[in-house]
Each structure stands twice: as structure tokens, then as C-alpha cells.
Amino acid sequence: MTTIKIEETFNDHLKKHLLFAVNYFQSQEDIKLIATIADRNEEWLKKNANDYKGHNIYAYYIKIGSFWELFYLGQTHSKYSIQRMRQHLIKASKTTSSKLKDFKNIDELGFKSITIDPQELRHYFETMLIQELRKNHKYLSNNLLK
């Protein structure tokens, strides 16, 4: 059996970026209110596509009182970011995992995202972010089946 050992400095570098991402998604800053239920449609998505295009790690938040609570965190290839948003908010195919069913009754839904480069690291960051963030976010731990 062969073992590939990641150099300490590379691992420390990843941890530094992971800590930044954890703090970013825990922060109440930069959460963008997504359109109300009535406004979430193809026309709204086309009009606002530039605001959401290109990300590959994203989070949805629900409003509880005056506080945004992290509800769901996911990843996608950046070239599919708008398609993934459509699946979560407007229309999902039967073959995809989507939060459309959970989001359809939530009027105040928040969103924020980051881009991980290179793209291939988005899976690692998603896994590590979920591991870290679900410790402090009860809705996140109940709504992620990962």
C-alpha cells in the first residue's frame, strides 16, 4: 500500500482558508435577501443572475426574528451555479437533490457564497465547512443529510 502524505505547509494553508470560510458563513454580514416566494421565478433569476453567477460554495439562511440562521450549505461547479440556484428555488428535476421542497414556504430566505479556486477543492471545503458549521447551527445539522 502506498501513502500520500500532504506536506504540513500545504495542510496549514488549507486550514487558514477553511477558517476564513467558516467565519464568513457564520457572519451575519453580506447575507443577501432572496426574492419573496411570489417573486422567485425564471424572470427574477434572469434579472438577478449576475449577482449569483460563478460561485461554487453557497449557503442559504432562514430569518428567525432579526437573526439569519444558517440552514443549508452546498457546492456546485461554478459554471452550474445559476442552474443549481434554479433547482433550489424555482424548479427541480426528479434526479437532483434539491431544497425546493424545504424553501417553498420560507418567505425570508438569505444567500451568500464564495468561490473556491481551484474548483476541485470545493468538495473538500464543503465537507470541512459542514463538519465545522453544524456544531453551532441546529437547523443546518437537521437539514443536511451528509
- pLDDT tens for 97-141 read 667 677 777 888 888 999 998 989 999 999 999 999 988 887 765
Contact 56, 115 (CB under 8 A): yes
Residue 96 domain flag: yes
Contacts 24+ apart (CB under 8 A), 22-25: 22/129, 22/132, 22/133, 24/112, 24/114, 25/59, 25/70, 25/73, 25/112, 25/129, 25/133
What secondary structure letter does DSSP report for 134?
Answer: T
Residue 71 domain flag: yes
Residue 3 domain flag: no
The tally of domains found in the chain comes to: 1
Calculate mean pLDDT across residues 65-79. 87
Residue 139 domain flag: yes
Q: Is 103 left (phi over 0), alpha (psi -120 to 50) or beta?
A: alpha
Residue 1 domain flag: no
Q: Which residues form the domain of 44? A: 8-143
pTM of the full structure:
0.81
98 bridge partner residues: none
Calculate mean pLDDT across residues 58-77. 89
